[in-house]
Amino acid sequence: TTETTTETTTTETTTETTTTETTTETTTTETTTETTTTETTTETT
Q: What is the pLDDT of residue 20?
A: 92
Distance of CA 43 to the CA centre of its chain: 65
Q: What is the pLDDT of residue 21?
A: 92
The Cα–Cα gap between 30 and 33 comes to 10
Q: What is the pLDDT of residue 42?
A: 87
Per-residue pLDDT tens digits for 5-45: 999 999 999 999 999 999 999 999 999 999 998 888 888 88
Q: What is the pLDDT of residue 30?
A: 92
